[in-house]
């Protein structure tokens, strides 16, 4: 079995970032507006905690992905830049602060995510429910995507998300089955699939994401796409893994944009409703479009028709 290399100095020297991984610097009035709102309301964003390469673009357009339940995670995934340790106590005022910040931003679409809170009996699902309801109450015209943890597969906690009923519920599979134990140390591939299937069976529009460049094969990526489709996923995001620090898993390969385009084609061919695939794609990238059933597939079919013509 191919092993993921951590801190392989030789590999790091050979693997230099290609030109297609260049990102825009965060500038502009909209960026400063979001920056001020985040700081003033003492909010956490996965944009910052996760070192997202699209932060400048998204914040420049007035959007951000808010991270609830603190910024310290109880899990220690090998790919993730979010701090691991003992989290602070739950802040029961946080749902209202998040709702008010989204209201001040006047966005039409918002994204929420959270750290894992495995030390709490409800896994943080009560705060999740309260936050979704607070956002919807104060922002009735704002659509909402929620990127949730697996809640250790405890479906009574997942059910709280269903009852709060955001427009999209996302839970990332992150990598292929073979690499899950190394990449998502405390997670389980099929447990995540069970969560996704439960969400779909209970009427949710379901989304998941996978990173490439960790040592997976093409066949494994295609199998993962099929597993996601077979478990009810509507939307899939596919992006390049970037090593946050030298303490995290090393990049095994930088995947060419043409290969990402191929996976997009495969995803639509097997029946996924929306496939966002590219080197800089992250889960919340263009997420305002992921709310719309049929939009992604229609655009793909239009592209194919124009190409043939």
The phi, psi pair for 258, rounded to 5°, reads -65, -35
Instruction: Map tokens 């946080």 to a residue.
Output: 94
Q: Are strands 44-45 and 143-147 parallel, antiparallel or unpaired?
A: unpaired
Per the annotation, does 80 bind a ligand?
Answer: yes
For residues 309 and 307, give the distance between their C-alpha atoms in angstroms, rounded to a whole number: 5
Per the annotation, does 52 bind a ligand?
Answer: yes
Q: Cα 4 to chain center, whole Å?
A: 22
> Alpha helices of 149-237 — where are they, by DSSP H?
155-164, 180-183, 189-201, 218-230
Per the annotation, does 277 bind a ligand?
Answer: no
Per the annotation, does 284 bind a ligand?
Answer: yes
Per the annotation, does 208 bind a ligand?
Answer: no
Q: Are strands 72-73 and 83-84 parallel, antiparallel or unpaired?
A: parallel
For residues 64 and 248, give the distance between their C-alpha atoms in angstroms, rounded to a whole number: 25
Q: Binding site, residues?
A: 47, 52, 58, 73, 77, 80, 284
Binding-site entries for [4Fe-4S] cluster? 47, 52, 58, 73, 77, 80, 284
């Amino acid at each position: 079995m191919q092993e993921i290399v951590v801190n392989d100095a030789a590999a790091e020297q050979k693997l230099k970032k290609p030109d297609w991984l260049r990102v825009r610097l965060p500038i502009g009035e909209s960026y400063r507006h979001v920056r001020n709102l985040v700081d003033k309301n003492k909010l956490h964003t996965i944009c910052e905690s996760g070192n997202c390469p699209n932060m400048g673009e998204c914040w420049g357009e007035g959007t951000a992905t808010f991270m609830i339940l603190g910024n310290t995670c109880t899990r220690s995934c090998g790919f993730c830049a979010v701090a691991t340790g003992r989290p602070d106590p739950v802040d029961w005022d946080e749902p209202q602060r998040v709702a008010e910040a989204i209201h001040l931003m006047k966005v039409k679409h918002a994204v929420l995510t959270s750290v894992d809170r495995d030390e709490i009996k409800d896994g943080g699902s009560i705060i999740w429910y309260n936050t979704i309801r607070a956002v919807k109450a104060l922002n009735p015209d704002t659509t909402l995507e929620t990127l949730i943890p697996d809640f250790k597969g405890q479906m009574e906690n997942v059910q709280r998300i269903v009852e709060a009923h955001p427009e999209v519920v996302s839970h990332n599979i992150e990598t292929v089955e073979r690499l899950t134990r190394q990449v998502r140390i405390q997670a389980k591939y099929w447990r995540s699939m069970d969560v996704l299937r439960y969400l779909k069976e209970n009427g949710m529009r379901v989304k998941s994401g996978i990173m490439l460049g960790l040592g997976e094969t093409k066949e494994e990526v295609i199998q993962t796409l099929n597993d996601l489709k077979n478990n009810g996923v509507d939307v899939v995001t596919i992006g390049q893994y970037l090593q946050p620090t030298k303490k995290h898993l090393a990049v095994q390969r930088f995947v060419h944009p043409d290969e990402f385009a191929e996976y997009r084609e495969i995803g639509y061919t097997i029946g996924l409703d929306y496939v966002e695939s590219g080197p800089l794609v992250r889960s919340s990238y263009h997420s305002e479009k992921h709310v719309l059933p049929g939009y992604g597939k229609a655009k793909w079919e239009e592209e194919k028709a124009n190409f043939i013509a």
